[in-house]
A and B are shown apart, each in its own frame.
Chain A
Amino acid sequence: MIDLFSDLFNDYTLRTVALGSALLGITAGSLGGFALLRRQSLLGDAISHAALPGIAIAFLITGSKAPLVLILGAGIAGWIGAALISIVTTRTRIKYDSALGIMLSVFFGFGLVLLTYIQRQPDANQAGLNSFLFGQAAALVEQDVFVIFVIGTLVLLFMMVFWKEFKLLSFDSDFIGTLGFPVRLLDHLLTTLFVIAIVIGLQTVGVVLMSAMIIAPGAAARQWTDRLGRMIILAGIFGAISGVGGAITSSLIPALPTGPTIVLIVSIIVMISLLFAPNRGLVFRKIRDWQAGKRLRVDAVLVDLYTLASQHASAEYPHSERVLDVMSTISGPARRTLKVLNDLELAKPIDSTHWSLTPEGVLRAERVIERQFGGGS
C-alpha cells in the first residue's frame, strides 16, 4: 500500500496516467450528470464515435499529432454530429434513436476510411492515431494531462457560471423558455461543453468506451441524492475514483488495458449504488417493503381483534388464533404477528391459543380504523 502511494507520487507514468484519468473522470462525470437528466445518455456514445473523422481530418490538414489540434478536430466533428442529430429529429419523422445510430456508425465508418487511407499513404507519421479507438492511457504524457486540465477546468467553470440555467434546462426546458431565457442557445452551449468533455477523454479511454465515462458516474450518483448539486459533485468524484482506480489497477496487473479497466470500475460503482444507495437502492427498498408489510400485518390483526371484540361487552374480549387466521386478509398464520403485538404491548395472550387487546391496543386499533375509514367508528 505504501509502495503504491509512493509510486503514485514518484512514478512518472503512473502519476501522469492517474492524474489524467482523474481529471477527465471529473469532467465527463459532471457533464454526464446533466445528460442523464436530459435523457441524452446515448448522445455521448454518438458524439464520441462521431469525433473520429475529425481526428483524422485534423491530422490530414495539419500533419500534426499535437493533442490540442486533434482535440479541436474531434470537437468540431462531434459537434457537427450532435447538430445533425438535432436537425434530423426536429425536422423529420426520424426518431432520436435512429438518428443517434446513423450518426454514430456513419461518422465512425467515415473516420475508419480516413484512418485506413492515412495509413496507406507513404511516409505518413500516423502511428498513434489508432489509439483513439480503444484509448491508450499508458501513452499519456504531461503535455496531454496539462491540456486535459486546462480544458476540463474551463468546461467546469462554464458549467458553474451557467449552473442555474442548465438546471432549469434539464428539469423544465419549456418553463425556462417562458422565463425569457434563450433555450436554444443554452442547449447549444450545454451540448458544446458536453462535446468538449467527451473529446478530451478519447485519447485515454477511446472512442468506443468513452460513453460509459459519460453515463455511468451520473447514473450512480443519481441513486444517492435527489439534489442536482450533490449529484453532479458525486458524479465527478465517481468519475475521478474510477479514473485513478483504473490507472492503478492496470499498472499493477500486466496486460490489463486501462480504458476497459476504468469502465469496469465505474460499472461496479453503478452496481453498488443501485443496490445499496439509501432510499433508492434495491436493498433499502426491500427492507422498506418488508417493514411496511410488517406494519400492515400488525394493523390488520389489531383491527381484526378489535372488530371481533366489539361484538362483545368488553373491547378486551379474548379470541382464538384460529378465528384470526381465517378472518385476516394477511397471508400466513396470525400467530407471528400476534407475538409482535405482544412485544409492543398491544395484545396479550390469555391462554395458549386465545388473545385479547390491551387498553393501548384498543386505542391504537381505534386510531387505525379512524385513519382507514376516515372516522365514524
Chain B
Amino acid sequence: MSASAEIQLIAVVVAVTCALPGVFLVLQRMSMMSDAISHAILPGIVIAFFITGDLSSPWIILGAAAGGLLTVALVELLRKTGLLKEDAAIGIVFPALFSVGVILIAQYAGDVHLDIDAVLLGELAFAPFDRIMVGGIDIGPRALVVMGVILAINLGFISVFFKELKLISFDRALAGALGFAPALLHYVLMGLVSVTAVGAFDAVGSILVVALMVAPPASAYLLTDGLKPMVVVSVLIGAASAISGYWLAHWLDASIAGAMASMTGVLFLTILITAPHRGLWSVRKRRSNQKLQFGRKMLVIHLYNHEGLPEAQQECRMDHLEDHLRWDHTFATRAIRSSLQNDYIKQQGPLLILTELGRDLARTSLVEF
C-alpha cells in the first residue's frame, strides 16, 4: 500500500474511532470533556514515559487513560463540593494537569522525542514510517494497528452496551432507578474517550481528537432522530472529513490534522445551513412561512369583521391595511399577494373582498383563536 493510501486509511480509522464515543458525549452534553481529557492525558503520558522510557510501550496508553480518568474524577469531586459549576471545574482541572505535563517535559525530557507540539498537533504524514514488525514481517504502520485495536474495543463496547448507553444518554434517572449503574457506565465511557484520545494523539494530536469527537456527531444530530442512524451518519461524516482533509492538506502542503479538523468544520457548517427541518435555512423558511400564514389569517379575519359594514370602504382599502394591522409595507404586500394567490380574497378597485374560501378560513380561524 502506498504511503498516501496508508495515511488516508489511518485517518479514516481515527475518525471512526473518535466518532463512536463522540456520539454519546454530544448527547450527554459532555462534549467539552473530550477537550479536557485530550489535554489532561499529557501528564499521564509523560509519567508513564519516564517510568518505561519507551514511547511505544502499551503502558503509555494506560498512563494516559489514568490521566483522563483522573480529570473526570477531579471534575466530579470539585462539582460535588457545590462551590464550582461543572464547566468551571473542567476549565480549572485540565489546564492545571496540562501545565504539569508541559513543565515535566520542559524540565526532564528536553532531549528526547516527546515535544508538546507533537502531542497537541500531531503529524500524520510521518505515521507510515513507524511500522510494527512481528518476526521480521511488516504488519503495518503502528498508528494503524493501535487505532485498529482501539476501534475494535469501542465498537465492541458500544454494540454490547448499546441499550444501556442509550438509556443513560436520554434518561439517566430512569437508568439509575432500573439499576443500570449509570456512574459506572459513565466512567467506562470516559475511559474509552481517554484511550481513544491517547491512541489518536500520536497520529493526529489532541485538538483533532476534539474535532473528530464532537463535530461529526453534532452534524449527525442535525440530520437524524434515532440513535443508530446518528451513529452511522457520524461515522460517515467523520470518514468523509478524514479523506477530504487529507487532500486539502496535500493541496496546501499544510498540517493534515489541521486540515481534517477544518473539514469537519466545513461539513458541519454545510449541514448546519442546509439540513432539512433543522438547518438554519429551513428553520428560517419555516418561520417566514408561519409568519405569512398568520398574516393571511389576520387579513381575512380583518376583512370578515368589517364585511358589509359602512366602514368597510375605509377598513378594507388595500393601502390602509398597513395602518389597521400595523404591518410594514413589504409584509402587507406579501400577505396580500399570498392571499390573492390562495384565492382567499379578490381585488375590487382599491378594496379587498373576501371569497367564499376566505370567509371559511376566517370563520375556522376565529374558532381556533
Residues of A within 8 A of B (CB): 36, 39-42, 44-45, 49, 87-88, 91-102, 104-117, 120, 130, 133-134, 208-209, 211-212, 214-216, 218-219, 222-223, 255-257, 259-261, 263-264, 267, 270, 274, 280, 282
Contacts and interface: CB of A to CB of B under 8 A. Distances in A.
18 contacts: A41-B88, A41-B91, A44-B91, A96-B29, A98-B221, A101-B31, A101-B215, A105-B35, A106-B211, A108-B207, A109-B255, A109-B264, A120-B253, A120-B254, A208-B39, A211-B91, A222-B83, A264-B99
A106 B268 contact: yes
Contacts of B268: 102, 106
B96 A116 contact: no
B252 A117 contact: yes
Name the 5 nearest CB pairs between A and B, nearest first.
Answer: A109-B261, A106-B265, A112-B258, A212-B95, A260-B99
A332 to B, nearest CB: 27
B346 interface: no
Contacts of B31: 95, 97-98, 100-101
B46 interface: no
Given A41-B91, A94-B222, A261 B214 contact: no
B208 A109 contact: yes
Given A95-B26, A264-B103, 20 more contacts: A40-B87, A41-B87, A42-B87, A45-B32, A45-B35, A88-B272, A93-B221, A95-B29, A98-B217, A100-B32, A101-B35, A101-B210, A113-B259, A208-B98, A209-B98, A216-B95, A219-B84, A256-B107, A260-B102, A264-B96
Interface string B278-298: 111001000000000000000
A109 B214 contact: no
B209 to A, nearest CB: 8
Given A94-B218, A101-B32, A101-B35, A112 B121 contact: yes
Contacts of A257: 102-103, 106
A92 B280 contact: yes
A294 B221 CA distance: 54
Contacts of A260: 98-100, 102-103, 106
A209 B117 CA distance: 14
B34 interface: yes
Interface string B297-335: 000000000000000000000000000000000000000
A216 B264 CA distance: 31
A122 to B, nearest CB: 12
Interface in B226-281: 248-249, 252-255, 257-262, 264-265, 268, 272, 278-280
Contacts of A99: 218
Contacts of B337: none
A371 B103 CA distance: 58
Given A108-B207, A110-B262, A212-B91, A41 B85 contact: yes
Interface of B: 26, 29-32, 34-35, 39, 78, 81, 83-85, 87-88, 90-92, 95-96, 98-100, 102-103, 106-107, 110, 116-117, 120-121, 207-208, 210-211, 213-215, 217-218, 221-222, 248-249, 252-255, 257-262, 264-265, 268, 272, 278-280, 283
Contacts of A280: 83
Nearest to B211: A105
A261 B103 contact: yes
A33 to B, nearest CB: 11
B30 A97 contact: yes
Contacts of A113: 248-249, 252, 254-255, 258-259, 262
B84 A209 contact: no
Q: Which of A42, A274, A282 is the most central at the interface, judged by chain B CB atoms within 10 Å of its CB?
A: A42
Contacts of B249: 113
Contacts of A133: 117, 120
Contacts of A274: 78, 81, 83-84
Given A92-B222, A97-B29, A113-B259, A219 B278 contact: no
B261 A263 contact: no
Contacts of B90: 41-42
Q: Is the interface of B mostly helix, strand, loop or mixed?
A: helix
Contacts of A255: 106-107, 110
Given A97-B29, A263-B96, A91 B283 contact: yes
A105 B210 contact: yes
Contacts of B102: 134, 257, 259-260
B190 to A, nearest CB: 15
A211 B93 CA distance: 11
Contacts of A108: 207, 258, 261
A91 B280 CA distance: 7
Contact of A102 (B81, B96, B218): B218
A98 B218 contact: yes
A39 B89 CA distance: 11
Given A102-B214, A260-B103, A263-B96, A92 B34 contact: no
Nearest to A92: B278
Contacts of A93: 221-222, 278
Given A134-B116, A215-B92, A260-B99, A110 B84 contact: no
A39 B258 contact: no
A133 to B, nearest CB: 7
A262 to B, nearest CB: 8
A39 B214 contact: no
Contacts of B91: 41-42, 44-45, 211-212, 214-216
A256 B110 CA distance: 11
B88 A215 contact: yes
Given A95-B29, A101-B35, A105-B207, A219 B261 contact: no
B26 A98 contact: yes
Nearest to A220: B92
A116 B35 contact: no
A112 B85 CA distance: 31
Contacts of B83: 222-223, 274, 280, 282
B68 to A, nearest CB: 16
Contacts of B103: 256-257, 260-261, 264
A112 B221 contact: no
B207 A109 contact: yes
A208 B214 contact: no
Nearest to B30: A97
A102 B211 contact: yes
Contacts of A110: 258, 261-262, 265
Contacts of B260: 109
A116 B255 contact: yes
A270 B95 CA distance: 13
Nearest to A257: B106
A91 B61 CA distance: 40
B95 A104 contact: no
Contacts of B215: 101-102, 105-106
